[in-house]
Amino acid sequence: QTTTKPPPTPSPLRFSKFFQSNMRILVTGGAGFIGSHLVDRLMENEKNEVIVADNYFTGSKDNLRKWIGHPRFELIRHDVTEPLLVEVDQIYHLACPASPIFYKYNPVKTIKTNVIGTLNMLGLAKRVGARILLTSTSEVYGDPLVHPQPETYWGNVNPIGVRSCYDEGKRVAETLMFDYHRQHGIEIRIARIFNTYGPRMNIDDGRVVSNFIAQAIRDEPLTVQAPGTQTRSFCYVSDMVDGLIRLMEGENTGPINIGNPGCFPTLFLKDMMFVFKHQYAIDAIRRNLVSFLAILGEFTMIELAETVKELINPKVEIKMVENTPDDPRQRKPDITKAKELLGWEPKVKLRDGLPLMEDDFRQRLAVLKN
Ligand code: NAD
Ligand code: UDP
Ligand code: UDP
């Protein structure tokens, strides 16, 4: 009796040049904030060779300065919406602007990056038998009706809003990942990243932590967008990178939430006093009392502003400004799966992470601490 040989399974080590354990790793978007920290960590392992492909839309060569010229490192100016031919064992696919002001700047380009860019990276993974990790986002949950958000929640996303190029783009990217996995046997990993902060964030990218820190350093008022009671969770970048590598090296496809569900319940009373000073905040709360009550024990933008003020510049003012459309009211990861499947949980508390970011921002803004 003849036995049929099973089809060859793609081996992540197929293209290793030296020893079995050597890895050639592509990081798309590696010149950006999270990508450059990931590259630092991957380069620490002498068995890794790292290729970065980036179009420098929101990233910069400066973030990778210390690796340029290193024999195990290569930087390619490349837009992922175009095909890419390289021979690699793993692909960390991060390329995509993450800050709302940048992804809304050219929404058609954002959706092309998410859809065509991910398709190209999957085509590449298929050709070379590489394992591919996509950095998806908590934005796939939209303005969530389930709280905190487990991976099983399908989300509440506006398909035609100004954020949709990003949210829906990432949702399609996730779909493509699973279709290539089912149809072509590609080894996939999906991380759903929640708000991340740390050194090398773009100073003027409009995200809340970078805005508040830059404002506090420049003695400008901290701009809390109304109503200020919306919540987020903030994960320090070293924890994020650790989670991404564990996901890539582990056996689970995901999607897995990676974020820091930490909170500051003690500041809640202060919050309420601040909010009640502002009439339009009160109106917003009246309109949605339920969601206001739901924030008990979570981390609001007012709390974040109070914390930045306390840690960085106690003299700075906090002012309420208009918000943008479709801003999710609350967001906090359920990280049970990351804990159980990856043995991962965040280690850096916001109060410890903010000062590290302050040092980096002061250097780049050339403003010394008094
Ligand atoms: P970032 O903007 O600093 O980095 C993105 C990088 O991708 C930049 O270097 C940019 O130049 C590059 N890029 C953009 N479009 C490209 C294209 N078409 N071709 C090639 N390169 C391109 O953002 P980040 O915060 O480092 O985010 C990295 C990834 O993590 C993104 O996929 C983002 O969606 C995801 N994410 C980030 C957060 C966060 O809080 N930072 C939250 C959720 C998801
Ligand atoms: N692709 C790429 N690099 C590769 C292989 C493919 O960028 O090494 C691109 C290719 O140009 C195509 C996409 O990935 O647009 C999807 O490739 P696939 O082979 O899955 O689909 P097909 O080319 O058959 O449409
Ligand atoms: N935000 C704020 N002040 C700012 C920038 C943002 O209060 O200067 C709020 C914004 O309304 C949102 C939250 O901070 O509720 C997080 O916004 P960010 O753009 O950082 O990330 P998002 O989670 O919306 O992608």
Q: What is the ipTM of this complex?
A: 0.97
**pLDDT given at position 8:** 46
Q: What is the Cα–Cα distance from 100 to 263, expressed in whole angstroms? A: 23
Q: What percent of the chain has pLDDT over 70?
A: 85
**Per-residue pLDDT tens over the stretch 240-258:** 999 999 999 999 999 999 9
Q: Known catalytic residue: 92?
A: no
Distance (angstroms) between ligand 1 centre and the Cα of 68 equals: 20
**Predicted local confidence at residue 296, as pLDDT:** 42
pLDDT at 14: 53
> What's the confidence (pLDDT) of residue 185?
97
Find out whether the beta carbon of 233 lies less than 6 Å from any atom of ligand 3.
no
For the stretch 194-224, pLDDT in tens is 999 999 999 988 999 999 999 999 999 999 9
User: What pLDDT, on the 0 to 100 scale, is given for residue 328?
Assistant: 83
pLDDT in tens, 16-36: 444 456 899 999 999 999 999
Average pLDDT, the chain: 88
240 neighbors 34 (Cβ within 8 angstroms)? yes
DSSP H helical segments within the chain, as ranges? 33-44, 100-105, 107-128, 164-184, 208-217, 237-249, 268-276, 279-287, 289-294, 301-312, 336-342, 350-365
CA 56 to ligand 1: nearest atom:
11
How remote is the CA of residue 102 from the centroid of ligand 1, in Å? 10
CB 164 within 8 A of CB 104: no
Which pLDDT belongs to residue 6?
A: 47
CA of 165 to the centre of ligand 2 (A): 22
| CA separation for the pair 37, 64 (Å, rounded) | 9
Whether the CB of 85 sits within 6 Å of ligand 2: yes
Residue 57 CA to residue 95 CA, distance in Å, equals: 10
What are the tokens at 79? 């837009």
* Owner of token pair 């993450």: 98
What confidence tens digit (pLDDT) does each residue in 326-349 have?
Answer: 788 888 899 999 999 999 999 999
* Partners of 91 in beta bridges: 26, 132
Tell me how crowded residue 154 is: count the other CB atoms within 10 A of its CB: 11
* Cα 94 from chain centroid (whole Å): 9
pTM score:
0.89
Q: Which of 127, 179, 181, 183 to mutate to test the pocket of ligand 2 (most atoms within 8 A of CB)?
A: 127
Per-residue pLDDT band at 277 (split at 50, 70, 90)? low
Pairing mode, strands 23-28 and 73-77 = unpaired
Which of 166, 180, 197, 236 does the annotation list as catalytic? 166
| CB 172 near ligand 2, within 6 Å | no
pLDDT over 80 at 13, yes or no:
no
Q: Calculate what percentage of the chain has a pLDDT beyond 90.
A: 76
Q: How far is CA 291 from CA 94, 185, 230, 288, 330, in A?
A: 32, 42, 9, 6, 8
SS3 assignment, position 305: helix
In the predicted structure, residue 356 carries a pLDDT above the cut 80? yes
Helical H runs in 78-106?
Answer: 100-105
Ligand 3 contact via 214 beta carbon (within 6 Å): no
Among 70-74, 136-140, 263-267, 300-304, whose mean pLDDT is lowest? 263-267
Note the pLDDT tens digit of each residue in 52-93: 999 999 999 999 999 999 999 999 999 999 999 999 999 999
Q: How many of the other CB atoms lie within 10 Å of CB of 68?
A: 12
Residue having the nearest C-alpha atom to atom 44 of ligand 1 = 137
What is the number of the ligand 3 atom nearest to the C-alpha of 228? 7
